[in-house]
Structure 1
Amino acid sequence: MINVVLVDDHELVRTGFRMILQQQPDINVGGEAGTAEEGLRLIRTLVPDIALVDVHMPGMSGIELTERVCRSKLPTHIVIVTVVDDARFPKRLLDAGALGYLTKGCTADELVSAVRQVAMGRRYLAPAVAQQLALATLDGSASPFDVLSSRELEVAMMLVRGKPLTIIGEQLNLSPKTVSTYKQRLMEKLHVDHVLSLAHLMTMHGLIDTPNHHVGN
């Protein structure tokens, strides 16, 4: 039996995935979480074979969750599920230790197939993503975001969602001063001087769907 936990802040997504997976005789959904923090506790408690994890969640992101699970040497394999299918982003997540990558537009068959494949320790990439990764490697195009650490990328994503430094600090367990340092460092690395420019750059590279309208400075 393949034991799975679902980590996504959208209840409808979790319900849909659960309904599809529970129909399979060899798959059991053992738990659900609406945040990455809850998801991490669930993974540590249940130690499932697979965790289906959304990238964009309030608080800790799917990237940080993936890295923490890998650092803790937990046997749980992470399958990332997201609306973003840009090649550079999966590369970052695979580098962080995710074994699978699906987009939310995947079919029920693809979801089940990915879970079974990753449960056997094999990597699964959504076909469109695999193709983009291959092309990105072929033309050698690097994303400007490759220069950021995972923590800097996480801070960048929270900044473009309009979160103030104090809130980012609370959610990542960092002081506002440290968050400010991360912000300054990532902006220098990306050669942008405003969060709006950062949001535009992230949209261009497929890291966010559209710039947030309530972006701060």
Structure 2
Amino acid sequence: MINVFLVDDHELVRAGIRRILEDVKGIRIAGESACGEDAVKFCRANPVDVVLMDMNMPGIGGLEATRKIVRATPEVKVIMLTIHTENPLPAKVMQAGASGYLSKGAAPQEVVNAIRLVNSGQRYIASDIAQQMALSQIEPEKTESPFASLSERELQIMLMITRGQKVNEISEQLNLSPKTVNSYRYRMFSKLHISGDVELTHLAIRHGLCNTEPLASQ
């Protein structure tokens, strides 16, 4: 029996995935949560084989939650199931320790297949995303995102900023000092040739890395 844990801040999405999986032989829904923090805690305390993880959620978000789960419970496999499929997110997520990457537009059977494959120790990346990742290696000048230059931590903080989270909130959730968070912010601004959070959010939206409205102010 494969114990699957669902993580998405939209209850309707979790309900849809639950309906897909609850009648599949050999798969059991172990639980669900609306944020990455709760997912990390649950995986540490309960038997979980595979986590279906959303990317953009309140709190630490899917990228940081993936990193924490894989570090604390390496036997747990994480599949990122998200609307965000643009470079460099798939590569960064896999580098953080995920075993799979799927679009929320994936067919139900593909989700089931991915769960079974990663549980068996293999990796699974949706074919269109894998093709995009391969092309970025072959023709980087045509496919590379400006965000490809960001480190994993910078990308994580970028995603949190574009959700409207403030420096003090980010520092608390990531166990970093506000000074350190601001250092990452200014390093991002320099790499991306921008001057503030509003520009950062607009740029992220243009490149399909967030689906929030631009921030009203910095």
User: What's the TM-score, normalizing by structure 2?
Assistant: 0.91
Runs of 5+ unmatched residues, structure 1: none
Letter in 2 for 1:137: Q
Deviation digits for residues 137-195 of structure 1 (CA, Å, limit 9, x no counterpart): 22124333233222221211222222222222233233333322221122122221122
Q: 1:110 aligned to 2:110? A: yes
| Moved beyond 6 Å, runs of 4+ | none
Match of residue 79 from structure 1: 79
Match of residue 153 from structure 1: 155
Root mean square deviation of aligned Cα? 1.7
Contact in 2 for aligned 1:161/1:215 (Cα 8 Å)? no
Deviation at 1:4, TM superposition (A): 0.7
Once residues 74 and 114 of structure 1 are traced to their aligned partners in structure 2, the CA distance between those partners, rounded to angstroms, is 18
Say how many residue pairs are matched. 216
Residue identity over aligned pairs, in percent, reads 42
Once residues 160 and 216 of structure 1 are traced to their aligned partners in structure 2, the CA distance between those partners, rounded to angstroms, is 12
Give the one of 149, 154, 174 matched to 2:176: 174
Contact in 1 for aligned 2:86/2:208 (Cα 8 Å)? yes
Match of residue 214 from structure 1: 215
Once residues 72 and 89 of structure 1 are traced to their aligned partners in structure 2, the CA distance between those partners, rounded to angstroms, is 22
Once residues 50 and 75 of structure 1 are traced to their aligned partners in structure 2, the CA distance between those partners, rounded to angstroms, is 9
Task: Tell me the SS of whatever aligns to 1:170.
Answer: helix
Task: Tell me the SS of whatever aligns to 1:110.
Answer: helix
Deviation at 1:213, TM superposition (A): 3.2
The aligned runs of 1:125-204 (5 Å cut-off) are 125-141=125-141, 142-204=144-206
Deviation digits for residues 67-99 of structure 1 (CA, Å, limit 9, x no counterpart): 112222520000001011214210111111111
Contact in 1 for aligned 2:5/2:50 (Cα 8 Å)? yes
Deviation at 1:215, TM superposition (A): 4.2
Task: Tell me the SS of whatever aligns to 2:140.
Answer: coil
Once residues 80 and 197 of structure 1 are traced to their aligned partners in structure 2, the CA distance between those partners, rounded to angstroms, is 27
User: What's the TM-score, normalizing by structure 1?
Assistant: 0.92
Letter in 1 for 2:215: H
Letter in 2 for 1:192: I
Once residues 126 and 179 of structure 1 are traced to their aligned partners in structure 2, the CA distance between those partners, rounded to angstroms, is 33
